[in-house]
Amino acid sequence: MLKITNLHASVGGTEILHGVDLAVDAGQVHAIMGPNGSGKSTLAQVMAGHPAYEVTQGSIEFQGEDLLALEPQERAQKGLFMAFQYPVEIRGITNAYFLRSAVNAIRKARGEEEYDTIDFLDVLDEKLEAIGWDDSFLNRAVNEGFSGGEKKRNEILQMAVLEPTLAVLDETDSGLDIDAVRVVAEAVNKFRSPDRSTIVVTHYQRILNYLEPDVVHVLHEGRIVRSGDKALAVELEEKGYDWLRAEVAAG
Amino acid sequence: MTTPIEQQVNKAYQYGWETDIESDKAPVGLNEDIIRLISDKKSEPEWLLEWRLKAYRHWLTLEEPDWPNVKYGPIDYQAIHYYAAPKQQKRLDSLDDVDPKLLETFDKLGIPLSEQKRLTGVAVDAVFDSVSVATTFKATLKKAGVIFLPFSEAVQEYPDLVRQYLGTVVPHTDNYFAALNSAVFTDGSFVFIPKGVRCPMELSTYFRINAASTGQFERTLIVAEDGAYVSYLEGCSAPMRDENQLHAAVVELVALDDAQIKYATVQNWYPGDPETGVGGIYNFVTKRGACRGRNSKISWTQVETGSAITWKYPGCILQGDNSIGEFYSVALTNNFQQADTGTKMIHIGKNTRSTIVSKGISAGKGQNTYRGLVKIMKGAENARNYSQCDSMLIGDQCGAHTFPYIDVRNSSAVMEHEASTSKVGEDQIFYCQQRGLSAEDAVSMVVNGFCKQVFKELPMEFAVEAQNLLAINLEGSVG
């Protein structure tokens, strides 16, 4: 589904990623962990195509296509979704309108029929019910006046509605209390399926308790320095990143 | 490298074509003979000619104002044709007599005048250069008692009504451009809603400047008698030309007891060349409403997307007790456009209320100024004003300026003022793109969200048109 090879990327002339290799199969959940400044969010932003990041070397193949050749919206239309670490506010535009515009833009790009307002509300209701949320979100302006937790939940709602084939969650758990982490994780689990993959970028192991990742990677100074199963996350939680730093330094 | 926002903020002006039609123009320049000629062309009564001449003589004593926050070269008032009309042999009795080229022009602008195609529920007066070419639904309106006529016809048919109200809200001494307009105004609309009548449909006037080297000086007068209601909308466009063309209009509104007037403008004059700033319309307009009666209400809604320079302050004189004035504005300046616009709310009566919501959008090298006056006079017990001025910047070469003037002479007044400035960021656009929307749709969504408070004041069809206009005029402008 996703194959990242020797990816180098920089922002403002400073190289952040120094050769990342990563392969994710359909249906898998991968966790990318690492300390602050290791390049986790950069990796997510580069996948999504943020214009501030420049790829200087390497490639990303997504469902057999050259992802880096596509505009951000084309990546979204082909099924890539990123839950933002800092979701953006859009004044005067309701969540319901925003979601419908997004879904319809994607459907249009795929040659599918666009939803009218009524049909779309049915689709929304179904998603809300599936993740156990009420519709109070829908008529508020996108993220405006939302608490940190509400913004993150809103990202997950968008993911549920847009049904991506690959979802990248960029520190969706940070800033959430333990109950909110569980709620978000459960919503992500509901949308797991054999043809969907998820990459969870996180600082902490706690969200992984609910998500059951297939593979855990540790990103350090712009490279993946270790990959393993869930036990790696537990080990990191116990020992902290310093232990790994020392080990990497020792070669 | 251009950013997604840059790529999308500049789309070309769509209404820049010219209609090839022979026109009957007054000689270039301005003097008393020209004014006599205009008055004669319109077969005006003597009093109106005198009124024009008085205004002209006053104008000669005035200096062009230099306080607006806009820059432009000197205007040569002797290089303008003050009257231009498509050649037409006789007075028009029905649309069948109208030159098909004119009908085509308005069709192309999306303002169909022919019987089968016209918008249901909207009566349209179409003004081409200095004359009105057609007014639809005249008969239906007449049945309801509503007068909706080209100004020059109203002068013929209802001279006493015109004389009673003309210049009572914006006197010829008001300002430089109002004086000029009073001297040389050509056509415009006259609306009269008698006592207790609710106008059965939206009224609309569409102004088109076509001829080269001409100015457009229209005059609109709307009177709503006791308990009357009317909703009125004006739209405008012009061909692309390298010269600057002057548009100096005057609009006067009068609302008597319990009357309500809603006046909306969707302004899309040619803004000048996007690359060089050459050409474009100078839109120097005076609009004012008088809430003369108790419980009367006047609302101004404007969406200003065109013109090289916009200078206008639609205001309300809140004379009647409990009267209400409202001003909702979206002003967009892109490329080399400059706007100095806002409102004046003059509270005279008791318990008068005013609301000001101004949304300024600057893109490219555009300069956008809000200038507003709220004045509470001594006798205006318990007056209230709420003002909100929001500016949005797209790119880093544009400017937003706010000059609110507040003058309170009665201590019972309650004044609220809010202001904000925001930037359409790459992050906002990227967020929308990541959800599958194009950069173009993203900018338009962010801007439309910003303007929502104003758009919801427009009649439905026009709100949609305003949104589209904004999207078109934003194409390609950010840096």
The string of pLDDT tens digits covering residues B420-458 is 888 887 889 999 999 999 988 888 888 888 888 888 888
Q: What is the pLDDT of residues B246-269, one digit of tens each?
A: 888 999 999 999 999 999 988 777
Residue B256: how many CA atoms within 13 Å on its side-chain side? 14
Nearest Cβ partner for B446 among A72, A90, A105: A90
Band (pLDDT 50/70/90 cuts) for residue B75 is confident
Q: Is A76 on the interface with B (CB under 8 A)?
A: yes
Answer yes or no: are the C-beta atoms of B205 and B125 closer than 8 Å.
yes
- DSSP readout, B397-431? S-EEEEEEEEEE--TT-EEEEEEEEEE--HHHHHH
pLDDT, residue A25, reads 96
Q: Which of A68-82, A193-207, A236-250, B262-276 is the most confident on average?
A: A68-82
Nearest CA in chain A to B436: A73
pLDDT tens for A149-171 read 889 889 999 999 999 999 999 99
Q: Does A77 touch chain B (CB under 8 A)?
A: yes
**For position B90, what pLDDT does the model report?**
53
The per-residue pLDDT of chain B, averaged, comes to: 84
Query: Could you tell me what percent of chain A has a pLDDT over 70?
Result: 100
Q: Considering chain A, what is the average pLDDT of its residues?
A: 90
Residue contact A98–B445, C-beta within 8 A: yes
Of A49, A101, A141, the CB nearest to B437: A101
Judged against a pLDDT cut of 80, whether residue B360 lies above it is answered with yes
The distance of B391 to chain A (nearest Cα, Å) reads: 13
B435 and A158 within 8 Å at the Cβ level: the answer is yes
Q: What is the pLDDT of residue B440?
A: 83
Q: Which residues of A touch B5 (CB under 8 A)?
A: none
State the best of B388, B434, B440, B454 to mutate against chain A, taking most chain A CBs within 10 Å: B434
Chain B contact set for A139 (CB, 8 A): none
> b/e per residue, B241-280, with b = 16+ CB within 10 A?
beebbbbbbbbbbbbbbbbbbbbbbbbbbbbbbbeebebb
CB pairs under 8 A between A and B: 78
| Three-state secondary-structure class, residue B202 | strand
Q: pLDDT tier at B104 (50, 70, 90 boundaries)?
A: confident
Q: What is the mean pLDDT of residues B160-176?
A: 95
B426: chain A residues, CB-CB within 8 Å: 51-52
Chain B interface includes A105 (CB < 8 A): yes
Cβ proximity of B288 and B326 under 8 Å:
no
pLDDT of residue A117: 83
Between chains, do A101 and B434 touch, taking CB under 8 Å as contact? no
Return the pLDDT at A234.
Answer: 85
**Interface residue B445 vs chain A (CB under 8 A):** yes
Is the CB of residue B134 less than 8 Å from the CB of residue B104?
A: no
Of B431, B448, B450, the CB nearest to A84: B431
Put simply, the answer to whether B428 touches A102 (Cβ < 8 Å) is no
* Cβ contact, residue pair B430, A50, below 8 Å: yes
Query: Which tokens go with B346?
Result: 């003059």
Predicted local distance difference test score (pLDDT) of residue B130? 60
- Rg from Cα positions in chain B: 22
Whether B257 contacts B295, CB under 8 Å: yes
- The secondary structure of B45-112 as a DSSP string is -HHHHHHHHHHHHHHHT------SS---PPP-TTSSBS-EEE--SS--SSGGGS-HHHHHHHHHTT--
| Residue B209 pLDDT > 90 | no
A237 pLDDT exceeds 50?
A: yes
pLDDT higher than 70, residue A65: yes
SS3 readout for A96-133: HHHHHHHHHHHHHHCCCCCCCHHHHHHHHHHHHHHCCC
By three-state DSSP, how is residue A193 classified?
A: coil
Rounded to a whole number of angstroms, the CA Rg of chain A reads: 18
Note whether B388 contacts A: Cβ–Cβ < 8 A: no
What percent of chain A is modeled with pLDDT above 90? 59
B142 falls in which pLDDT band (50, 70, 90)? confident
User: Is pLDDT above 60 for B12?
Assistant: yes
Contact A93 B434 (CB under 8 A): no
Q: How far apart are the first and last CA of chain B?
A: 11
Q: Rounded to an integer, what distance in angstroms lies between the CA atom of residue B62 and that of residue B182?
A: 14
* pLDDT at residue B478 in the model: 43
Residue in B with minimal Cα distance to A109: B436
The answer to whether residue A102 neighbours chain B at the CB level (below 8 Å) is yes
Residue B210: predicted pLDDT: 66
Q: Which of A73, A139, A161, A169 to mutate to test the interface with B (most CBs of B within 10 A)?
A: A73
Cβ of residue A79 closer than 8 Å to a chain B Cβ:
no
Select the residue of A75, A105, A158 nearest B437 (Cβ to Cβ). A105
Nearest to A77 among B431, B436, B452 (CB): B436
CA distance B64 to chain A (A): 40
Work out the pLDDT band at B109, boundaries 50, 70, 90.
low
List the one residue out of B324, B266, B331 whose CA is nearest residue B299: B324
Backbone angles phi, psi at B452, to 5 degrees: -55, -45
- Asked whether residue A32 carries a pLDDT value surpassing 60, the answer given is yes
Encoded amino acid at B6, one letter: E
Token pair for A121? 């509300």
In chain A, the residue whose alpha carbon lies closest to the alpha carbon of B431 is A88
| Separation of first and last alpha carbons in chain A | 31
Which chain A residues contact residue B436 at CB under 8 A? 73, 76-77, 102-103, 105-106, 109, 162
Choose the mutation target among A50, A75, A91, A146 for the interface with B, i.e. most B CBs under 10 Å: A91
Is this complex scored with an ipTM above 0.90?
Answer: yes
Three-state SS string over B36-64 comes to HHHHHHCCCCHHHHHHHHHHHHHHHCCCC
Which pLDDT belongs to residue B8? 42
Tell me which residue in B427, B439, B452 faces A92 most closely, judged by beta carbons: B452
Confidence of residue B5 (pLDDT cuts 50, 70, 90): very low
Mean pLDDT of A180-186: 84
Q: How far is the alpha carbon of A90 from chain B, nearest alpha carbon, in Å?
A: 6
Instruction: Output the pLDDT for position B91.
Output: 52
